[in-house]
Amino acid sequence: MIRNHLKVLITGAQGFLGRYLVADWLAADPVVSIIGVGRSARLDNHFTHSVHWGEIRVPAPMPPTLVNGLRNSRYAYRTLDVTDTAALRQLVAEHRPDLVVHLAAALRDDPPSELVAANIGGVVSVLESLACLGASAPPVLFGSSGSIYGSVPDQHLPLSEDRVCAPIDPYSATKRAAEELGRILANQFGVPALWARIFNPVGPGQDERHLCGWLGRQVAAIAGGARAPLISVGPLHTTRDFIDVRDTARALRLIATRGEPGLAYNVAAGRETSGRQILETLLRVAGLADRVTLEIRPGRSADIDRVYADRTRLDALGDRPCYAIEESLAAVLAYYADFVAPSCPDEQHCTEPRCNTPANSLDVLLDERVTHFRELL
């Protein structure tokens, strides 16, 4: 039972999505207290990964709004590997959370052994730790992935939660296996469990292994004069369901507090966007349309042509996306211009011509584009 004073445990709290979720929850609920856990030591000003300005690699800075949102006496962080069941069980017994959100996971490109240990072993560890609370075990929301559906015929789009899942790569397979094993153990231990099938979050600070981060990095650097007007990218015909990370965070909070145990919820915008549309939007927002050359690289051997989700179940909880994809991409470009570029050593910002973008106008340009898109919505 959720009480007036809510205690929430969030694993993977220093990840890209974890940070935004903690900040969103603290801002939305004045009585919530959150303890975050993760393998890394606490970092207050940076994400745990790196980003680039041109060819310069720097620790990924957190936007000031996120930094300030996490500076809160109602938030505490503990360095802890969730696969260490004994340590996690002790923390659970000590804090007795009212809700748990499990986001800690291995990344798509990690070796299969690490995917199994983190994505499946982490779920087992969380449930075994909560089982020690017996009948007072709190609900737990597990972060899963929209990729578990695999490739489906066009006539079965958009993807509903009832769709048969057929993962096509090791990452997706471990996330699907974690759902199945988690469901069995949750029933066995008497732990109320829900699943969030997260599609493609996008926003400031995203790891550059993802499409929007990879393209945003290049477009921002070209506009800022730190890169020649050449963009390296894989095939652009595939479509995905991109959702702003801030919308993702809010959706996770609503599922955790309002969702029905036993159900999975698609966390997506419910719209289909191609890689080419992403690139064209970034170039248009940055004022670089028709000013760059593309270098097309081969795609992954296992890939899916079309993806977008049915969000009927999420809508029923009262959730609605607030950000258009144009706003999300403009925020990514502004992140590089405002926070990544200034973190680089002086005299290394601009090594290439600025493609006729006025020297002090990238931020103004982004503000104008965001305002324009808001007027259209």
Q: For the chain, what is the mean pLDDT?
A: 92
Q: What's this model's pTM, rounded to 2 decimal places? A: 0.92
Residue 117 in any domain: the answer is yes
Output the pLDDT for position 302: 57
pLDDT score at 377: 32
Q: Quick check: is 1 in a domain?
A: no
Spell out, as residue ranges, where the chain has pLDDT lower than 70.
Answer: 1-3, 300-302, 346-377
Distance CA 95, CA 76 (A): 11
- The answer to whether position 192 is within a domain reads yes
pLDDT of 347 reads: 40
In this prediction, residue 71 carries a pLDDT of 97
Residue 224 is part of a domain; what is its CATH number? 3.40.50.720
Q: What pLDDT, on the 0 to 100 scale, is given for residue 3?
A: 53
Range of the domain at 221: 7-376
How many structural domains is the chain composed of?
A: 1
- The predicted pLDDT at position 4 comes to 72
Instruction: Answer whether residue 16 is part of any domain.
Output: yes
Pairwise CA distance, residues 53 & 55, whole Å: 6
Is 2 a domain residue? no
Q: Considering the domain boundaries, does residue 358 fall inside one?
A: yes
pLDDT digits (tens, 9 = 90+) for 57-83: 999 999 999 999 999 999 999 999 999
- C-alpha 303/C-alpha 167 separation (Å) is 11
pLDDT, position 358 = 39
Is residue 41 in some structural domain? yes
Residue 87 lies in a domain: yes
In the structure encoding, which two tokens stand for residue 216, read together? Answer: 């945003």
